[in-house]
Amino acid sequence: MKAKRLAPGLLLAGLAALEATRSARAQEWTQPGSGPEHRGAAVAPGQPLTAILADLLYDPFVPLETAESGGSLLVHYAVPLLDGSDAYMEFKSGSYIPCFLPGTGFPFPCGPDAWASQIWNVRKLVWENGALTTAWSFESDWKPVPAGGGVGGWEPVFHPALAGDFLYVPGASGTVYKLSKVSGNVIARINPFGIPDDPTYVAGGLAADGAGNVYYNAVALNRDDPWGSDARGAWLVRIAPDGTASKASFSSLVPGAPAPSASCQMSFTTNLPWPPSPAAVPPSNTCGSQRPGINVIPATAPGGTIYTVSRAHFNGRYAYVVAVRPDLTPAWSASLRNILNDGCDVGLPPNGTPGGCRAGSTRGVDPATNDIPAGRVVDMASSSPVVLPDGGVLYGSLTAYNYRRGHLFKFTSDGRAAATYDFGWDITPAVYRHDGTYSILMKDNHYGLGSYCFDSFFCPPETPRYDFVSLDPNLSVEWKFRNTNTFSCRRESSGEVTCVSDQPNGFEWCINQPGVDGNGVAYANSEDGFLYAIAPGGTLAGRIFLNLAVGAAYTPLSISEDGLIYTQNNGHLFVVGDLLRIPAPPVRKNRASRTVKPR
């Protein structure tokens, strides 16, 4: 397999050809999931996956980050934002402090404990003479929540959003910068909390509704013991187009949740197989206050309802999908408990057999709690709500008892549980509208893990397989596409791609949200290093090799109005499409690149 190279003559010819064939502006990709509903959909058809048109390094710390975790890239990255032919992308600078021996945490602080030594920037990227170049760069003072707790070593997401003529960028102490998207100049720094140097964090990314309001979750943690002490506060924040900010506490948005001092159910830790007996009661701990999942990004419905996700600070099994009215008063909150019933002797091997629960266990319960299974909101995931065309809302949760595959939940617009599907781990699905209905597109990985525990005697692993799935509005399967590639490939310095067959079980889909174009073609990255295009019906429409990415970060992608695919692989931003359809640069008064720093 030969790598495609850019020929300068063809690039310039492509600029002229494009001017004669470009269609009118279709849809911008202004935030995670494209638009306010987070459906991951574009109006334009995607271009053929024939050439890599750009390759930009945005995270120079990937080798150190993967070494620290033993080979996996545990980082959440932003989706490339698109505005016409311009793009806005996260770039990291500063320094990464490795541990003396990777993974040891010594000398403290190092590795994830030294995240704050990095600097998160946003660059505006423009097409100039067939190349994607920097128009300006803004350096934010935002820092992620500290490592530890449920976050573990998974670096949280830094995510701006476009709204009207402005780019909104997370800042320190729960603040947000409002930038001119043309110049990168700071228009305002919006501080809903009024306290400088406070351990309040923009938790998750920013999102905007159709009227230009910007929404995000914020959480205040104990400075000395962020995960061992209760959260000091948590809020859903709205910034109006005029820059005024308002907020609502999560305690007011989830009034039916257990009190912070109440006891919440944990998991059994001993006496496999679980549950230890048919009447066993698991240990419990203090629930803690309700707060957002750390990487959750709010979605908004066309009528103005805002959706976010809440969990108890100390226990992700007590979690809710939350609907909020435009005035930030609660509409409803739907618990992820008491819905599932596919545990022991249902979705697992028969009780008393390898992988199954203890003989005599109650049918349908979670073996780890001996109770009705609960969808869990975990801080190392990045799942966010998706508003559906019928007014329903989706959320992908973790459940560990079904081979750690999680569950996807669908709720109606008034908060009733409508359907579930037995995969949901770290996925925000894309939605394709067609023929008066819609399809839900997402990964469906079987990871080769044990059913509910990591002891191979009691929980032998299942065979890995890696599907991409289309579901109907009832979450029933329409079709599946399986990645059966067994070849690990690499790009040599000469540009040639060489491959060896060493992965008999294939490669998992390394996405936290796919994209879907106007023709229903879905785009998704795999750990085999390829970007795939999957047509309706589950047929392969095309693929292109980027670079091998085993242990890769789960990343989102975006689709431009010209059908270019902006995707990611191991800290690189790739733009893929047709060599003769590279965007032409708009007329600009000043094309010089510059750096803007916060005031």
Residue range 353-389, pLDDT digits in tens = 999 999 999 999 999 999 999 999 999 999 999 999 9
Going from the C-alpha of 62 to that of each of 290, 512, 528, 588, the distances in angstroms are 33, 18, 17, 34
Q: What is the rounded CA–CA span in Å between residue 257 and residue 271?
A: 31
3-state secondary structure of 329: coil
φ/ψ (deg, to 5) at 17: -65, -35
Mean pLDDT throughout 430-444?
A: 98
Q: What span, in angstroms and rounded, lies between the C-alpha atoms of 356 and 375?
A: 20
Q: Tell me what pLDDT residue 551 has.
A: 87
Structure tokens at 44: 């334009």
Tens digit of each residue's pLDDT (9 = 90 or more) over 523-572: 999 999 999 999 999 999 999 999 988 888 999 999 999 999 999 999 99
Q: How far apart are CA 388 and CA 38, in angstroms?
A: 9
Residues 6+ apart with CB under 8 A from 102: 67, 68, 69, 70, 111
User: Domains of the chain: which residue ranges?
Assistant: 8-596
Please give the mean pLDDT across all residues of the chain.
Answer: 93
Could you read off the pLDDT of 318-345 as tens digits, one per residue? 999 999 999 999 999 999 999 999 999 9
Phi, psi of 432 (to 5 degrees): -110, 115
Q: Are 72 and 550 within 8 A, CB to CB?
A: no
C-alpha dihedral sign at 277, 279, 283, 285: positive
C-alpha 31/C-alpha 202 separation (Å) is 16
Strand order in the sheet with 86-94: 81-83, 86-94, 118-128, 131-139, 594-596
Check if the beta carbon of residue 138 is closer than 8 Å to that of residue 151: no
Q: Phi, psi at residue 455, to the nearest 5°? A: -90, 115
**Strand 263-265 relative to strand 284-286, pairing:** antiparallel
Q: pTM, whole model, 2 decimals?
A: 0.93
- pLDDT tens-digit series, residues 169-188: 999 999 999 999 999 999 99
* pLDDT of 28 higher than 70: yes
Q: Which has the minimum average pLDDT: 302-306, 447-451, 487-491?
A: 487-491
Cβ-count burial of 538 within 10 angstroms (0-12 exposed, 13-18 middle, 19+ buried)? middle
pLDDT of 244 reads 97
Question: CA 428 to CA 384: how far, in whole Å?
Answer: 6
Taken in order 205, 250, 223, 64, is the CA torsion positive or negative? negative
Which CATH architecture does the domain made up of 8-596 adopt?
7 Propeller (2.130)
The torsion angles phi and psi of 220, rounded to 5 degrees, stand at -105, 125
| Count of CB atoms situated within 10 Å of the CB of 49 | 22
CA angle 384, 30, 557 (to 5 degrees): 65
How confident is the model at residue 14, as a pLDDT? 37
Mean pLDDT of 39-67: 97
Token pair, residue 284, equals 């419990």
**C-alpha dihedral over 597, 167, 559, 204, to 10 degrees?**
80
Are 442 and 423 a contacting pair, CB within 8 Å? yes
Mean pLDDT score, 462-488: 97
Q: Which amino acid is at 413?
A: S
pLDDT of residue 593: 62
- Distance set, CA 71 to CA 380, 445, 551, 552, 571 (Å): 17, 20, 6, 9, 14
- Give the whole-angstrom CA distance, residue 38 versus residue 394: 10
What is the mean predicted confidence (pLDDT) over 395-419?
Answer: 98
Which tens digit of pLDDT belongs to each residue from 101-153?
998 999 999 999 999 999 999 999 999 999 999 999 999 999 999 999 999 99
3-state secondary structure 88-119: EEEEEEECCCCCCCCCCCCCCCCHHHHHHHEE
pLDDT band at 596 (very low <50, low <70, confident <90, very high): low
| Sign of the torsion formed by the C-alpha atoms of 561, 564, 567 and 572 | negative
pLDDT value, residue 171: 97
